[in-house]
Structure 1
Amino acid sequence: MAIREWKTFLIPYEQAVEELKIKFRSIRTEYRRKNEYSPIEFVTGRVKELSSIFEKANKFDIPLDKIEYEMEDISGIRVMCQFVDDIEKVVGLIRQRSDMRIMYEKDYVTNVKGSGYRSYHVIVKYPVNMADGTKDILAEFQIRTLAMNFWATIEHSLNYKYKHDIPKEIRNKLKVAADAAFQLDQRMLEIKDEIKDAQKIFEVKSNIVSDIMDNILMLSSLGKTSESTRYQVQLNKLVEEGEVSELNKLLNATEKTLDIYK
């Protein structure tokens, strides 16, 4: 198959990645808009480079005409979570979806690889609507914590440097680092409720501050410079250490002033 034909071959995989990123980012947005905690921190995706596809096909003796059936990670979606127990929740979200079919799952969180690698993989069959009809492609979800992802990124770089033959001394240090990263995840899990409360307060305050700023800008656009300046000074004092109740009072004040001049 010529390079141009291979690029055509990758089109549905590229479309799948873009669609899946949007869908799972939308889940996060939905939780946030309902002022609920989201098990999804952020989502990334990529299509495997042709060089990596050929290298993997050669390594695992996959015939080039069988790649679309036997290589499950050409389309890759990575879902990052804050806490270990969020991983199970994200997997549950994938299981209940009707727009994809799970082929199999690989739990490297419970069944840690010898290298120390931890992540949860879900292989799905996902239908992509192309100009000439629907094409089912395989895609891989990797669900992991931020700490797991940091470690996996470092390991990937070292594997690239040493061509998957990392020296024993470095491998041992990597394993120790992987265990330390997991211990960090466990410690964070112990104070999860405190962290969630702090993040919720921060988000609530951010939303109120944003609404106040909108009102201040509106007053300024109406030519009410003295009022907008006065409220801006008050807001500046509250942004750092102000309580939610104080910010709400300021928000109400700006709204009442706007009602007078509208």
Structure 2
Amino acid sequence: MEIRDWDKFLIPYEQAVEELKVKFRSIRSELRKKDEYSPIEFVTGRVKKVSSILEKARKLQVPMDQLETGIEDIAGIRIMCQFVEDIQKMVEMIHQRNGKDLIIVYEKDYVSNQKESGYRSYHIIINYPVQTAEGERWILAEIQIRTLAMNFWATIEHSLNYKYRKNIPEKVRSRLKKAAEAAYLLDQEMSEIREEIKEAQKLFEIKSQLVSNILQSIHQLYRQGHVSEASFFQERFNQLWEMGDIHELRRLRDEMNGKLNSMNGDS
């Protein structure tokens, strides 16, 4: 086997994973700040372990001097979505970036065409540029897009494949298949009520932001020495918090902002 400096070899892949995670987390953050729905629930990433690279190279009969082109998923990120419909939205977003900061090589749709095992996910192989000390370098990376239910199932299957060295007993395999069907049905049910779920999550985010703004204003009043006013608003907030009325919380926030503005104006 060729002797290789694996730490040096993996540097651009590690860089690609970190950059891709930042890109898609930024998209999620930007959409939420604009009060728009984000199809991205969260993003994870990893670089394959050396043992996994060697195992895959042996399986695919990829020579050691051709790892960069022969193994497409040394670098990989995973984008989790709440709903199956979000997967296609993410695919469209990535297509819009094609030719700009990445190049799509090919795609594998295991959502519409699930594997025999029950595995479901959408894979996009891309060419991605990283800036290294030796100049720009394009590397292959994989983006996996799946729902939370799909990811739960896939994580369990991966663990069992590791335990049984990819020779899962038929009895366990059969139960895994049933679990895959259950995960599929869960995704279908969530899709049926996704508008209600999205509305509930939106209300939760609005209330969380209101509460944060109110508490910051109360703290500011205390900090400026307006103890009686701060105590007054604190008491009103405690009452409204128990009731959970967003409209009343919004009015309290606006009233406090007006009070703070007038106080700061007087000073």
Deviations 1:98-148 (A, max 9, x none): 100000000000111011000000000001011111010000000000000
Picking from 154, 160, 174, the partner of 1:158 is 160
Gaps of 5+ in 2: none
Deviations 1:21-75 (A, max 9, x none): 0000000011101101101111000000111111111112111111110101000
Structure-1 residue corresponding to 2:229: 227
Give the letter aligned to residue 124 of structure 2.
Answer: V
Give the letter aligned to residue 226 of structure 2.
Answer: K
Of 17-26 and 240-249, deviating more is 240-249
Aligned counterparts of 1:123 and 1:115: Cα–Cα separation in 2: 22
Structure-1 residue corresponding to 2:192: 190
Aligned residue runs from structure 1 range 138-157, under 5 A: 138-157=140-159
Picking from 126, 129, 142, the partner of 1:127 is 129
Give the letter aligned to residue 56 of structure 2.
Answer: K
Picking from 240, 246, 249, the partner of 1:247 is 249
SS at 1:118 equivalent: coil
Deviations 1:180-238 (A, max 9, x none): 00100001101111111111111111111111111111111101122222222222232
SS at 1:105 equivalent: strand
Aligned counterparts of 1:85 and 1:173: Cα–Cα separation in 2: 27
RMSD (Å) for aligned C-alpha atoms: 1.1
Aligned counterparts of 1:240 and 1:77: Cα–Cα separation in 2: 41
Deviations 1:135-183 (A, max 9, x none): 1000000000000000001111111111111110000000000010010
TM-score (norm 2): 0.95
Q: Sequence identity of aligned pairs in percent?
A: 59
SS at 1:96 equivalent: helix
Shift in Å at residue 80 of structure 1?
0.2
Aligned counterparts of 1:100 and 1:181: Cα–Cα separation in 2: 32
Shift in Å at residue 240 of structure 1?
4.5
Structure-2 residue corresponding to 1:50: 50
Give the letter aligned to residue 188 of structure 2.
Answer: Q
TM-score (norm 1): 0.97
Picking from 238, 241, 250, the partner of 2:240 is 238
Aligned counterparts of 2:132 and 2:166: Cα–Cα separation in 1: 37
